[in-house]
Amino acid sequence: MLSRTAENLFWMGRYMERADATARLIEMGYRMAMLPGSNEQEEWRSVAAASGSAPELAHPDARNFSASAVVQRLLLDPDNASSIRSCLTSARANGRAIRTALTQDMWEALNDGWRSLGQMDADTALKNLPSLLEWTKHRTAAFRGASEISLLRNDGYYFLRMGGLIERADMTLRLLDVKYYVLLPETDVVGGGRDYHQWTSVLRATSALRAYHHVYKGDYTPWGIADFLILNSAFPRSVAYCYRSISRFLDDLAELYGERGSPQAVASQMVEQLDRTGIEELFQHGLHEFVSQAITTTRRLSFEISKAYHF
Amino acid sequence: MYNEMFADDRSVRGPYEKVAEWINATGVDLLNLRQSEAEAIFRKIGITFAVYGEGADPERLIPFDLIPRVFGAAEWRKLSRGIKQRSRALNAFLYDVYHRGEIMRAGVVPEELVYQNEAFLPEMVGVDPPGKVYSHIVGVDIVRTDGDRFQVLEDNCRTPSGVSYMLENREIMMRMFPQLFQAGIVEAVDSYPSLLKKTLEEVAPIKCDDDPTMVLLTPGSLNSAYYEHSFLADLMGIELVEPQDLFVENGLCWMRTTRGPQRVDVIYRRIDDTYIDPLAFKADSLLGVPGIFDVYRSGGVTLCSAPGAGVADDKAIYVFVPDMIKFYLGEKPILENVQTWRCAEPDHCKYVIDNLKDLVVKRVHGSGGYGMLIGPHATKKEIEAFRAKIRANPSEFIAQPTLDLSTAPILGSEGVEERHVDFRPYCLVGKDIRLTPGGLTRVALKKGSLVVNSSQGGGVKDTWILAE
């Protein structure tokens, strides 16, 4: 496979995942801002911070700060490479550059309606926010579904999936990076309304609210939530799940190519670390330290993959 | 004016019987509905075409007209022999140009037209391309001016585009009107990609000692014909590469893959001569594969078409193609040329200057219908402006009579209407010469217009060759 093709597939996977994760993030902000007793500004500010692409809005002294500014920046802004609009456009451009590596179903999922965010202004978007976010999630789901059922299971599929998983791990970690303080033990004592909101917001942004109930039987605790998002490999947005899957795809790739590449060392080291660490230990050593280190590792893994496969 | 569907007494001509029957049975309303469905499908699949210099929508659709253009079996027999004959002669001419130049020595083609031609590449002199083939895909633009009169408008020896429309137009027609094709009366066109692949295989370079690896080289996804590039690569099952995917090492050409370098033997390039190799041609070009021309010359890789093939499809050289057929093949030309005045000749030039209002004037190196004058449709001012341009630089221009192009039926705003059409078949030249029964019919959608180029408001149609 051409290195450029692998690179395009990898980034297409990342862009689609980012569009999806950003939609969930905005959805979280939207829901939280509606709740009684919430600080609307604060909610939107943490959305801006977790997205990682709106630092000027995330700053507490940001001027002209508003929900509409955040939505504009994260949903519509063509100059923000991580806005939903840019992600869908870039994913399509990547796909178009390697049309021969995509199936017709995948292409149609990428091509369908990609222009529709182009003409929209922030106020219209804010009014129709729930349906726009639903639409985004449908687009990315259709693309994922099309790849699942139509793409050959070979290197192209592996690169596409690894791109998506790296992006997903990164998004979960960045959310934790912004929200880690609400999970710290000292905020646990009160257990009042605000904490409840904060914890559920983290789960909501990862679409994990209901799944959490099934696993932890109802009680929201900082440990439970952190355990779920980091260590629970049954939950498909957890760091453990993403890293295990990446490690498996790297194995598949090694088998196909007959040689093991350097990225596997990075991935499997992380998998081992997550396997042997309990959540108490993680809190003891510092949740924030762990999250920062994991973000760096994820970045390195992405770099090692592109280096090992010449893109 | 020859109407392809109706004879003078409005009776339907033989080849169009089936189509006429279908139009009547379906009705214009339903056809219109299907027409918009077809457009939606084209958009969805992503078959688009960018027009240089127009800005606006970079992924525009070429209008597609539902009503097929039809050739009878006997008409095709003649066309097919003529097209193959022309393709052979053009390749023989190119070999001669880059070797002994017999045809110039014999005084049949003027030397300066060849050796001072922009498309002539001195670097190609003495190079022996595999099978002596220079132009592997010859696109011959043909117009019909009467029942049995077909004339060649121009030849395309470099990288003629449009063949994806031949395939997709048929695909759409078969998807929307399967019952039309059930009787098996229309020759299939879907063998084109495998014939093209076979042709490329046949011209593997001498240093290739295994099954040749073939690639299609595209300038990238911003190119107007990108859809076609990806479409053909996909159908042939070969890699679609961009210049930065290729590199030269140890006298061979390689592509960068996830498993390291992989050897490349045959390159079907859809990129202009001057952008192939910045070391050999255009030093300031950011495109291209440095050193690839040397690999080509030493038999390490084959470029299709060969660099320098464009010298044969120049509009000034065109005039001499019938002479080439006689000179190299000893045959009588089957397809006529259109009468052409070369303004480089003083007496031709005088005639052209005096008769501009009746002539079509084209630039010798131009293409795509840009910068031409259609005398009968031009204003006085435009004619005067052209007169001055020709006087200033006569050898830049040729002129032809305004042709009475045949018309074919289209689905217009007032039902079935008549529009002018031309035809471009794609002849493949490897060890054998192969011609898929079909081609691209372009249609001037503007009423009365003679310009069929898609960049100038032309559309496309499915083209049927009826089975014997």
pLDDT digit of tens for each residue in chain B (468 aa)?
Answer: 899 999 999 999 999 999 999 999 999 999 999 988 888 888 777 666 654 444 445 567 788 999 999 999 999 999 999 999 999 999 999 999 999 999 999 999 999 899 998 899 999 999 999 999 999 999 999 999 988 899 999 999 998 888 999 999 999 999 888 888 887 889 999 999 999 999 999 999 999 989 999 999 999 888 888 888 999 998 999 999 999 999 999 999 999 999 999 999 999 999 988 889 888 887 777 778 999 999 999 999 999 999 999 999 988 899 999 999 999 999 999 999 999 998 888 998 999 999 998 898 988 876 555 678 888 888 889 899 889 989 998 888 889 998 889 999 999 888 899 999 999 999 999 999 999 999 999 999 888 888 787 767 789 999 999 998
- More confident call, A122 vs B44: A122
Which of B375, B401, B427 is a domain's end point? B401
CA angle B365, B57, B371 (to 5 degrees): 20
Is B133 in the same domain as B155?
A: yes
Is B31 part of any domain? yes
Beta-bridged to residue B252, according to DSSP, are: B249
Q: Can you say how many angstroms the Cα of residue B309 is from the centroid of all Cα atoms in its chain?
A: 14
* The model's pTM: 0.85
| CA B116 to each of CA B122, B314, B395: distance values in angstroms, whole numbers, following the listed order | 10, 12, 12
The answer to whether the Cα torsion of B207, B210, B216, B219 is positive or negative is negative
Query: In this complex, is the C-beta atom of B356 within 8 Å of any C-beta atom belonging to chain A?
Result: no
Q: Which one, of A159, A170, A167, A157, lies nearest residue A309 by Cα? A: A159
Decide if B46 and A99 are in contact by the 8 Å CB cutoff: yes
| Host domain of residue B198 | 14-333+404-465
Is B322 part of any domain? yes
Is B351 in the same domain as B267?
A: no
User: Is A139 within 8 Å of A112 (Cβ atoms)?
Assistant: yes
User: Is B352 within 8 Å of B399 (Cβ atoms)?
Assistant: yes
Is B47 part of any domain? yes
Interface test with A, best of B61, B255, B258 (most A CBs within 10 A): B258
Residues of A in contact with B258 (CB under 8 A): 1-3, 6, 155, 159, 257, 309-311
Is B357 in the same domain as B286?
A: no
Is B451 part of any domain? yes
Is B178 in the same domain as B278?
A: yes
Looking up tokens 């049309």 gives: A99
User: Is A169 within 8 Å of A175 (Cβ atoms)?
Assistant: no
Residue B239, pLDDT score: 93
Which of B401, B428, B450 is a domain's end point? B401
Is B272 in the same domain as B418?
A: yes
**Confidence band of A138 (pLDDT split at 50, 70, 90):** very high
**Confidence band of A196 (pLDDT split at 50, 70, 90):** confident
Residue B406, pLDDT score: 94
Is B224 in the same domain as B283?
A: yes
Strands B246-249, B252-257: parallel, antiparallel or unpaired by DSSP? antiparallel
Query: In this complex, is the C-beta atom of B230 within 8 Å of any C-beta atom belonging to chain A?
Result: yes
Quote the CA–CA distance of A181 and B302 in Å, as a whole number: 64
Query: In this complex, is the C-beta atom of A299 within 8 Å of any C-beta atom belonging to chain B?
Result: no
Residue A218, pLDDT score: 67
Is B1 part of any domain? no
Is B9 part of any domain? no
Quote the CA–CA distance of B279 and A126 in Å, as a whole number: 55
Decide if A310 and B255 are in contact by the 8 Å CB cutoff: no
Residues of A in contact with B254 (CB under 8 A): none
Residue A195, pLDDT score: 67
Beta-bridged to residue A81, according to DSSP, are: none
Residues of A in contact with B231 (CB under 8 A): 99
Share of chain A above pLDDT 90, in %: 53
Is B145 in the same domain as B242?
A: yes
User: Is B405 within 8 Å of B420 (Cβ atoms)?
Assistant: yes
Is B347 in the same domain as B327?
A: no
The amino acid that residue B157 corresponds to is C
**Number of separate domains in chain B:** 2
Decide if A4 and B260 are in contact by the 8 Å CB cutoff: no
- More confident call, B59 vs A84: A84
Phi/psi of residue B281, nearest 5 degrees:
-115, -70
Mean pLDDT of A265-279: 94
Is B248 in the same domain as B364?
A: no
Query: In this complex, is the C-beta atom of B222 within 8 Å of any C-beta atom belonging to chain A?
Result: no
User: Is A52 within 8 Å of A178 (Cβ atoms)?
Assistant: no
A188 pLDDT above the threshold of 70: no
Is B382 in the same domain as B279?
A: no
Is B113 in the same domain as B79?
A: yes
Residue B265, pLDDT score: 98
Residues of B in contact with A2 (CB under 8 A): 239, 241, 245, 255-258
Is B231 part of any domain? yes
Residue B126, pLDDT score: 94
Residue B52, pLDDT score: 46
- More confident call, A244 vs B273: A244
For the domain that residue B351 is a member of, what is the CATH number?
3.30.1490.270
Decide if A2 and B45 are in contact by the 8 Å CB cutoff: no
Decide if A155 and B258 are in contact by the 8 Å CB cutoff: yes
Residue B58, pLDDT score: 55
Decide if B259 and A6 are in contact by the 8 Å CB cutoff: no
pLDDT digit string, tens, across residues A45-54: 888 888 888 8
CA distance B180 to chain A (A): 26
Question: Helices A3-34 and A129-150 meet at what angle, rounded to 10?
Answer: 150
Mean of all residue pLDDT scores within chain A: 88
Is B421 in the same domain as B273?
A: yes
Mean pLDDT of A77-91: 93
Interface test with B, best of A3, A111, A154, A307 (most B CBs within 10 A): A3
CA distance B214 to chain A (A): 13
Strands B64-71, B433-435: parallel, antiparallel or unpaired by DSSP? unpaired
Residue B93, pLDDT score: 98
Helices and strands, counts by H and E, chain A: 16, 0
Residue B100, pLDDT score: 95
Residue B88, pLDDT score: 97
Is B2 part of any domain? no
The answer to whether the Cα torsion of B268, B273, B278, B284 is positive or negative is negative
